[in-house]
Structure 1
Amino acid sequence: MPLFKTIRINNDTTIFLWKITEDYNELFCQVSLKDTSLARMEKMKSESHQKGFLSIRMLLQHCGYNDFDLIYDKLGKPHLKDGKHISISHSFDFSAIALSNQNIGIDIEQVKEKVLRIAPRFMEMWHLENLSEVDQMKKATVIWGTKEAIFKIKNEVGISFPDHIFEKPFSLSDKKCKAELHFNSCIENFDVSFEEAENYILVCASHS
């Protein structure tokens, strides 16, 4: 299908969301890939990951770019050749890219029961007090996405989700929150926004 949704975060940042309804061949025929990207995709064991990879290139083309404009640094962080900041995420039926004039991080995750089982490993559990099970799943997914998005911005070895990234109190109805990264004797502040897309949570983070 075409672009699912465009989300304008602020004057600097826009997110483009794609719902993957096409089969592999449909997507493959519509994108141009450089040799290194083709080799990378062919190593992917899951067709779901391959379709996610291709749908990201569809989003790039929608925004006036293509695979040849996208480069990765030695830590795997994506960059655009024209200097525009980009962040990428894919989860099952959805892919997303964010384009911004500032360093940005996004994450999209499907809301699943599993997140509550692993929540004590990555977050402070007081965040989930007095919530229904459904809202606990959603909020835990927001917090996981927040940590992923901030990690994508910093992209430094050694950052621990439970030990270094902390979310201020927030409600799901706020659609935004504040978070801090405590790392290498520094504290950095981040603005986070989030929203639902079907049974998924999309999170976007940037420096405050």
Structure 2
Amino acid sequence: MPLYKTIIENSQTTVKIWKIEESYSDLLAPITLRPESAIRLAGMKSELHQRGFLSVRHLLAEFGYTDADLYYDENGKPHLKDGKFISITHSFTFSGVIVSDREVGIDIEMQREKIQRIASKFVAYEFEYLNEKDADYINRLTVIWGIKESLYKLFATPGMLFKSHFLVIPFCMKDQETVAWIDYNGLKKRYNTKFLEFEGFTCAYALG
């Protein structure tokens, strides 16, 4: 399947999502990889990860980029050679890329009940407005995780903790947006965040 969804957030920011239905060979055939990318691909033990990696290169092409336009810094954060900001995600059968003139982060997660078991590892303040008896409890936890993961990708700073340094303001699922804050080493910063659901997955992204 080609491009699954495009979200034009504003004139500077676009999100593109790919549903990964192609085989490894079909994904690989039209793509040219830098030697280091080819080595990285070959070293992946799971074909699911390999297909995710390649689908991201197809999303780059949708933005007019190639693998050669992408590089990673020492913290593993992706960058584009033209100076635009980029964030990348893939989860099982979906991948996503956000490109902007401002700093951004994106995450896609499968909605799974087991997130309840690890909630105490990434939720603190948010427990004040969450209720595990609510029908949408799993969905809301997944949104919170996705937002915090997006913020972590945006900053890519070692030492940041989901539970201690990121907080997500109360939200309703129907609104598909909320505000989040980073409070880290004297830095306090507010971010607008958006989220959407599709086919049992949640995509969240943070806008700098």
Deviation sequence 1:7-44 (CA, Å, 0-9, x none): 11222211000000001111011211010000011111
The 5 A counterparts of 1:189-204 are 189-204=190-205
Say if 2:196 is the partner of 1:178. Answer: no
Corresponding residue SS for 2:38: helix
Bigger Cα displacement from structure 2, 33-42 vs 120-129? 120-129
User: Per-residue deviation at 1:131?
Assistant: 5.1
Instruction: Determine the C-alpha separation between the residues in 2 that align with 1:174 and 1:126.
Output: 19
Deviation sequence 1:106-161 (CA, Å, 0-9, x none): 0000000111111111113233227534x111100000011100011111111011
Partner residue, 1:137: 138
Aligned partner letter, 1:70: L
The 5 A counterparts of 1:42-121 are 42-121=42-121
| Cα RMSD, aligned residues only | 1.1
Partner residue, 2:151: 150
Instruction: Determine the C-alpha separation between the residues in 1 that align with 2:100 and 2:133.
Output: 34
Partner residue, 2:128: 126
Identity %: 43
Deviation sequence 1:52-98 (CA, Å, 0-9, x none): 00000011112111101101111111011111111000000000000
Instruction: Determine the C-alpha separation between the residues in 1 that align with 2:178 and 2:15.
Output: 18
Corresponding residue SS for 1:117: helix
Aligned partner letter, 1:31: I
Partner residue, 1:14: 14
Aligned partner letter, 1:200: F
Instruction: Determine the C-alpha separation between the residues in 2 that align with 1:127 and 1:161.
Output: 17
Partner residue, 1:35: 35
Structure 2 residues not aligned, in runs of 5+:
none
Is the alpha carbon distance of 1:39 and 1:130 closer, same or farther for their aligned partners in structure 2, counting shifts above 3 Å? Answer: closer
Instruction: Determine the C-alpha separation between the residues in 2 that align with 1:33 and 1:137.
Output: 38
Aligned partner letter, 1:153: L
How does the TM-score come out when normalised to structure 1? Answer: 0.96
Instruction: Determine the C-alpha separation between the residues in 1 that align with 2:100 and 2:57.
Output: 17
Aligned partner letter, 1:20: I
Aligned partner letter, 2:175: D
Instruction: Determine the C-alpha separation between the residues in 2 that align with 1:58 and 1:131.
Output: 41
Instruction: Determine the C-alpha separation between the residues in 2 that align with 1:142 and 1:85.
Output: 22
Aligned partner letter, 1:149: S
Corresponding residue SS for 2:129: helix
Aligned partner letter, 1:37: S
Instruction: Determine the C-alpha separation between the residues in 2 that align with 1:130 and 1:53.
Output: 35
